[in-house]
Amino acid sequence: MCYAKPGPRCSNHATKALDKAAAAYAADKSDKNLEALAQARDDYNLTPKGINTLRKSGLKLIGSGSTADGVAAVQQADAFEDERSDLIALVSANRQLQASS
């Protein structure tokens, strides 16, 4: 589920935006498109699917012997999960504030 901005997007919408940004960058490797791709990747990583993908890739790296890279990926997944929780809490607090006004 997408949350109102500044909340995180849902996995489905973030995946579509990431695919669109990747296609735009493939067609035109400008700085603007690179920045849009990086933002779309961050938005995707804030989704449940993105977090799970990052965590699974980290665990796979650990299992294959690339421990440092795997641990870094799992830690990134944890950081994105924490950030997602913070954004959801912010949206919730904003709704409560608006409802009490």
Helices assigned H by DSSP within the chain: 11-27, 31-45, 48-63, 67-100
Counting beta carbons within 10 angstroms of the beta carbon of residue 36, is it exposed (0 to 12), middle (13 to 18) or buried (19 or more)?
middle
- Decide: pTM greater than 0.85: no
Q: What percent of the chain has pLDDT over 70?
A: 99
Q: Looking at residues 7-18, what average pLDDT do you find?
A: 92
Q: How sure is the predictor about 98, in pLDDT bands with cuts at 50, 70 and 90?
A: confident
- Find, among 96, 92, 21, 12, the residue nearest to 47 by Cα: 12
Q: Which amino acid is located at 55 in the chain?
A: R
Q: Which amino acid is located at 28 in the chain?
A: D
Higher confidence at residue 4 or residue 94?
Answer: 94
List the chain domain ranges: 11-100
Residue 93's pLDDT is what?
A: 86
The 10s digit of each residue's pLDDT in 53-72 is 999 999 999 999 999 999 99
